[in-house]
Structure formats: C-alpha cells, structure tokens
Structure 1
Amino acid sequence: MNGIESTQALQRRGRQPLWQQIELALLQDIRSGTLREGMQLPSARDLALRFGVNRQTVRHAIESLQERGVLRTENGCGSFVQEHPYRYLIGRRARFGRAMHDLNVSSEYRLLESGVQPASRIVQRALRLASGQQVQRIVYASSVEGRQVDYSQAWFPHERFPGICAVFERERSITRSLAAFGVHDYLRQYTAVMARLPNAEVARELGQSTRRPVLHVQSINVDPHGVPVQFGDTWFAGDWIQLLLAPDA
C-alpha cells in the first residue's frame, strides 16, 4: 500500500464528515512527504480498507482534492499527487539551463547518444542543407532537481561544427558547445508545440505511460546573421514543465 498504514481511526461521531477526515489525512500524507509529487495513490479499495469506510466515501475525498488542485486522475491509471511544473520561458534567447537557474533550481544534461549521420529531409530543410550533407546528432535528457523532464535530439551542420558531439559530452551545455565554435549568441527562429502521445522509448525515458500526453517541441536556432545552427526535437513531461511562449523575450 505504498508504505501507508493499512488502518486509520476516524472520528465517526464527530461533526466533520468522514470524507473530509480522509481528505485531511491524505493532505497530511502529502505534506509529510509520505505521498510525494507524481506519486500514485493506493487504490480506492485499499484506501477504503485503510480508513474502514466504503469506496464512495473515499472517492468523495479524492474528488475534493482534485477540485483543489492537489490530486489529478488519469482514466484507467488511478490518482496521483499533482506536480508543480517548472516554468520554461521560450523567447528569442531560449536557454533551458538559464531558465532553471532563474527559478533557483539545479538542472543538468545527460548524454544518451551521439554521432555523425546523413541529414534527413526534415533536418535538411530546417538547417538549409543540401541533399547528402551530414549532421552531428546529439540525444540527451534534461533533469531538474534529479527529475528527468525531457528527452531531446539536436542536429548541427557537420561542416560547421565538426566534433561538437565530443564538446557537448565534455561541456553538457548547448550554449557552451556552440561557443566553442565561435557562436557566442544564437536566437530562436522557430518553435512549434504540440501535445502528443509519446512512443515507447520516450515514455520509458520519462518514466511514464505511453497513454499520457507529453509536450512535443520542435525548434530552430540561428546565429546573429540568421544562419541555422541547430534543429531541436524535444519531448517534455507535461506534468513537470510549463512552457511560456514569449517571442519578444
């Protein structure tokens, strides 16, 4: 039962309805850390056994916590403690690490895969490359306060940025990696956001179900002369990241 006691006494002759007492008990579990953000609650059956009530009484308490924004429920999956997402401002100079630093939270990149490959058609168009040109591809995951919040791919023109994969492995920063090749500033030219269901690989990396939507973001960054330097494809865990679009920022 997720480490929660199997029985708990309620004041059955008190003025406070049983469902409200259960609501307060669950709130105490959340405040004490017994139930943490993103954690799934025990089933209505298990909670009914814990408190010695029927399932409808438990559901009443859960519905009240949902209305207060404390819990969220996924059809077919159960109820979860509501996460408080990190805000990521996407403007002309969007920088994930800087956005998290401004929130006073720690973040880091974890390299998953990298290498040189022929550019696909979508990457060719985004980076304005000729057919057959190669790109450097980096696959990485970002975590905030130890929680993985995205799964990302980034492509860079191989001719302009040879060896940027090795630089990223050392620096763990897109900004510092581009700076190593003389690109000390870059701007967001294009951002497209869509809610989509993740494939099995993305869901596994994000630690969630393939039935829970994520935020899919594709982007193009350009240098100060307007020449594309990076095409990005990122899947954000929607429960953890809130995207704020501010093109003029």
Structure 2
Amino acid sequence: MVGRRTVERQTGVALWRQIADRIRLAIGNGDYDETGMVPPETVLAAEFGVNRHTVRSALAALAEEGLVRAVQGRGTLIERKDRVTYPISRRTRFSQGLGGQVQEIGSKLLGQREVQASGEVAAALGLPLNAPVVELRTVSSGDGRPLSATIAYFPAERFPEMAQQYGRLGSVTKAFAAQGLEDYVRVSTEIVARHADAEELELLKLSPGAIVLEALAVNADLDGRPVEFSLTRFAADRMKLRIDT
C-alpha cells in the first residue's frame, strides 16, 4: 500500500505530483481492484501526511489522464482501460504488435524535413557527421487514444521519398517497401522511464506528472546497414513494453 514515507518534501517535485505517481502505480499494481475505487481523500491525506487539497490536486491530474473519474456520492472510480502490450523483437512493427488488442490503429504525420545528422544520429545510422537525413515526427494511436510519439531519422540519400511515402501510406514498413526495402530488423533498443515534458503532455494528451517510456531504437536492413534511428515516447499508463527474444 502507499504511505506517507513514499513522498519527500525537499526533492523539488510537487507533493501532488508525487502522490499522483504513487496512486497511478497502485492502480497499475491492482491495489484497488477489490473495490474499483480510489480510497477517500481523507484516507489518502492521512496516508501521505498531506492536506485534502493536495490529494484533490493529484486526483484531478489523474482524471485529466482518463485514469479515474469522480462520481457524485460515491467517490473516485477507476476507469478500466487496460494497457496495450507492445512487443519489441527482431522484427518490431507497430501495427502487427498491437494486432488484436485495439480495433483501430492510427498514425499521424506531424512534420517532416531534411536536416543534417547530429553526432548521435550520424553514429546510429553509420553516416558522416552532417550527412542529410529525413526527419519524421509522428503520433500513433489505438482506438482514438494517443499511445506514442516518435521522432525518426532515415538516410536521405537512400530514402529520398520517405516523407512522401509515409504521408501516403501511414506506415514506415510500407514506406520502406515503396522504396525497395522489403524487410528490416531491430538492431538495438534502449528504454528509460521518466516524467513527460510539456510537449509530450500535449502530444499524448497526458496530465502533469505522467510517466513516459522513452525508447531509442536502431533498425537495419538484412545486410546490417542502419536504415532508421528513432526516439519514441510511450504513454506508460496506456502501454507496456515486452521484450521478445
């Protein structure tokens, strides 16, 4: 169970945000499954050693995320929205990975441009520093809920029509195929968890204090030549990542 020892007053992180994180974690762990309700504000205030206003701010943030809902005369109801499992394997594909878990998969191209590869991008793609790369910014959703936001880079010399093909087909895999690359594999994935920044809160429709899973990934063709370097932010309360070996 959550308790007052789990919040710290001199970390620079607002108390209501810490409490929202702990309640979110408790919901994910199934601590409140028996009742389907978050404990009353007075109980939470006593457990965390704060006033009811602080608890109320935490619950309001969780309500903005769609995780809970205040019901007049009853309390705070937990909204049953199961996490979607996204498998990361040798052949990681967004649509295939979500298959059967959601009815409608959406992908929106937010922006595209050709830029010079930074040191990190150049190293990941095996290109010279400042080599031209195509940058795509996208948001993917399931059944209308934003699930992830991605910034991806592709060698511009090899895939000059990446932006146009993605805009037409709505899929990296299909865009690759339209330019002659029929298959590719995941080379590496690095994952960290952190609080969402302001841009991510807006893109993924999250409330302050929400957690994202940040994945840095490299894909390569079957000869081992890198074809994509991406930074994807997954909404942690909507998705869980499964590593398949």
Q: Note whether the superposition's TM-score is higher than 0.5.
A: yes
1:182 equivalent among 180, 183, 188: 180
Q: Aligned equivalents of 1:169 and 1:148: distance in 2?
A: 18
Q: Is the 8 A contact 1:86 1:241 kept in 2?
A: yes
Partner of 1:110: 108
TM-score, normalising length from structure 1?
A: 0.69
Whichever residue aligns with residue 155 of structure 2, its letter is: P
Whichever residue aligns with residue 220 of structure 2, its letter is: V
Q: Aligned equivalents of 1:93 and 1:129: distance in 2?
A: 23
Q: Is the 8 A contact 1:100 1:106 kept in 2?
A: no
Change (3 A) 1:160 1:212: same
Partner of 1:203: 201
Question: Is 1:38 the equivalent of 2:66?
Answer: yes
1:209 deviation in Å? 2.2
Q: Aligned equivalents of 2:100 and 2:227: distance in 1?
A: 25
Which structure 2 residue ranges, 5 or more long, are not aligned? 1-34, 39-62
Count of matched residue pairs: 186
Which structure 1 residue ranges, 5 or more long, are not aligned? 1-22, 27-34, 52-57, 63-69, 72-80
Whichever residue aligns with residue 142 of structure 2, its letter is: V
2:92 equivalent among 75, 91, 94: 94
1:150 equivalent among 148, 151, 166: 148
TM-score, normalising length from structure 2?
A: 0.70
Change (3 A) 1:172 1:41: same
CA RMSD of aligned residues (A): 2.3
Partner of 1:212: 210
1:137 equivalent among 107, 131, 135: 135
Q: Which one has a bigger Cα radius of gyration?
A: 1
Partner of 1:84: 82
1:104 deviation in Å? 5.4
Q: Aligned equivalents of 2:189 and 2:169: distance in 1?
A: 25
1:124 equivalent among 95, 119, 122: 122
Structure 1 stretches of 4+ with a deviation exceeding 3 A read 23-26
Change (3 A) 1:99 1:131: same
Partner of 2:228: 230
Q: Aligned equivalents of 1:231 and 1:109: distance in 2?
A: 18
Q: Is the 8 A contact 1:196 1:213 kept in 2?
A: yes
Q: Aligned equivalents of 1:234 and 1:91: distance in 2?
A: 15
Change (3 A) 1:125 1:41: same
Q: Is the 8 A contact 1:83 1:239 kept in 2?
A: no
Q: Aligned equivalents of 1:25 and 1:100: distance in 2?
A: 29
Q: Is the 8 A contact 1:151 1:234 kept in 2?
A: yes
